[in-house]
Structure 1
Amino acid sequence: MEINPLTKPGACHRTGVEVSGVKLSQPMGAEDKARLNRVFVEHGVLVIRDQKLAPREMLEAVKIFGSVFQQHNTRFALPDCPQIHYLSNQDRFPDGRRYVPGEGWHTDHSNDSRPPKATALHAVALPERGGDTQFANMAAAYEALPQQTKRRIAGLVAIHVYQSSHSARKLMALPQAGMERVPNAVLHPITRTHPESGKKSIYINPIRIEGILGLDHREALPLLDELLEHATAERFQYRHVWRPGDLVIWDNRCLLHKANGDYDMSETRYLYRVMLQGDVPC
């Protein structure tokens, strides 16, 4: 197994490593599992190259990093392996508009009381070019905040819902069963401490946050916009250019991500997705 950094030398963060020489469809020793988990916490994004995994093989492979989390919108579940969902640019909203999953900066399922600690995607079909996924390191972004801003956001709590009324991106509606299972709203701190690394991060999600507890929208929304603009600056980013067979797993506790719909939509972009159980943000 070889592990090499993907972040450019001199960057203010160490987001992303490439892992090669591994077949996730085969059993892995305890030492290698422990090494991958250490690297995951240190770098946030693991790009494991040249995999060819059936759904159940992927499900077993990602258990190296934790237990599987039940995703919210069951309309995307694979019938023969419902813990795995698919992402596809071939789906459409009821009004006929194309649904491009993953657009806009966000962290997955932050509207859960215990949001998933990680998300894994496995590339099954990709467009010839485009469709990159961008990641923003929220720990590096927090570290770079002015002390005055750190003091301002300390102790602030955001209200997370399934679909924020302020979000430019619209999500697919939940099926009735999902609406009964998913919380109406949860509260999470805007400054989050990573349970393993101990680092503090900015924890926001423009698709899910409805407001900040105790603040008027006239104060809360500009603050959230300011934090997002700061945190998603290019200096905090790693941009992943997908290759066939990539399995990419990332840390939702300290990263934002977004998919780019900048490719020929007559070509199929199709990936398997699994999430892993997390803890209560604090």
Structure 2
Amino acid sequence: MVLAKSLSGPIGIEVTGVDLTRPPTTEEVATMNRLFVEHSVLVVRDQHFTPHQMLEAVRLFGEIFEQHNKRFALPDCPQIHYLSNQDHFQESGKRYIPGEGYHTDHSNDPSPPKATVLFAVELPDSGGDTQFVDMRAAYDDLPAATQRRLEGLQAFHVYQSRHSERKLMPLSPELKAKIPDAVRHPLVRTHPESGRKALYLNPIRIESIEGMEEQEALSLLEGLLAHSTQEKYQYRHKWKPGDLVMWDNRCLLHKANGDYDHTQRRYLYRVMLKGDQPF
């Protein structure tokens, strides 16, 4: 039986009473999908997965999206990737913190993933929270004049924007050839299931805004990000072992925090679900 408890208002719902290693009922699946659309972050507690079991559980919520950088794929289950604080950039030797900085996943794809799912395998004693931002509420609270200004604006998303403060792991030449150099998405997108509008920003991927001078575009994006990331729009997830967390990339930003002892391993499985072209 699915038991649900709100975590922080409209963002974040905790689910207990379900073991996703066993086939849930049709009613339980429908309930979890409804809660996901309504609350955008679905936290299913106390799960115990092998990679293949996680993959089967995630399929309850949609089709698997092929992730771009294959260097993080699990050899025996390549549709699942890992997030680890034990990787380093080859050139500099600097530690790589996956998910650092506010972003939405794979927005440089023509049809970005609707959802990302993480499963906590190993966690540090403290820290390493993931913060989520409700871009629907942030849009709703914009002045009407700003909402009108954003109507019809399109941004170009690339693998890594030259304006990004966060450095990503490089893609292999083979992978570079498979993904577009740039894709165009609206700055305000409509959720295909709820019908609500949300800001669609990504400081790591947005290169430019169509028809706008660079400095004007950067100023607009900086202002929208500062507005959106106010604490009142956030849910901060404190991880527990066995947490399966799924969030909606269509209406949220998220970031991982590197504020923990890096002699302790932080290791999670990641799967993404196919989405639609933003409109």
Band the TM-score falls in, shorter-chain normalisation = over 0.9
Structure 1 residue 136 corresponds to structure 2 residue 133: yes
Map Cα deviations across residues 91-132 of structure 1 (whole Å, 9 max, x no partner). 000121000000000000000000000000000000000000
Output the CA distance in 2 between the equivalents of 1:180 and 1:124: 33
For these two proteins, the number of residue pairs brought into alignment is: 277
Output the CA distance in 1 between the equivalents of 2:175 and 2:61: 26
**Residue identity opposite 1:96 in structure 2:** G
Output the CA distance in 1 between the equivalents of 2:26 and 2:127: 37
Name the structure 1 match of 2:120.
Answer: 123
Name the structure 2 match of 1:189.
Answer: 186
Output the CA distance in 2 between the equivalents of 1:88 and 1:52: 19
Name the structure 2 match of 1:263.
Answer: 260
**Residue identity opposite 1:40 in structure 2:** F
Equivalent residue in structure 2 for 1:106, among 89, 103, 108: 103
Aligned partner of residue 16 in structure 1, secondary structure: strand
**Residue identity opposite 1:227 in structure 2:** L
Structure 1 residue 18 corresponds to structure 2 residue 19: no
Deviation at 1:183, TM superposition (A): 1.1
Equivalent residue in structure 2 for 1:178, among 175, 178, 185: 175
Aligned partner of residue 64 in structure 1, secondary structure: helix
Equivalent residue in structure 1 for 2:57, among 58, 61, 64: 61
Name the TM-score, length of structure 2 as normaliser.
Answer: 0.99
**Residue identity opposite 2:31 in structure 1:** R
User: Deviation above 6 Å: which 4+ runs of structure 1?
Assistant: none
Name the structure 1 match of 2:143.
Answer: 146
Name the structure 2 match of 1:2.
Answer: 3
Aligned partner of residue 8 in structure 2, secondary structure: coil
Output the CA distance in 2 between the equivalents of 1:6 and 1:175: 40
Deviation at 1:176, TM superposition (A): 2.0
| Structure 1 unmatched ranges of 5 or more | 9-13
Name the structure 1 match of 2:71.
Answer: 75
Name the structure 2 match of 1:11.
Answer: none
Equivalent residue in structure 1 for 2:82, among 82, 86, 91: 86
**Residue identity opposite 2:14 in structure 1:** E
Structure 1 residue 40 corresponds to structure 2 residue 42: no
Aligned partner of residue 120 in structure 1, secondary structure: strand
Output the CA distance in 2 between the equivalents of 1:21 and 1:33: 13
Aligned partner of residue 63 in structure 1, secondary structure: helix
Deviation at 1:181, TM superposition (A): 1.1
Output the CA distance in 2 between the equivalents of 1:65 and 1:141: 26
Name the structure 1 match of 2:47.
Answer: 51
Output the CA distance in 2 between the equivalents of 1:49 and 1:61: 13
| Structure 2 unmatched ranges of 5 or more | none
Output the CA distance in 2 between the equivalents of 1:238 and 1:181: 35
Name the structure 1 match of 2:203.
Answer: 206
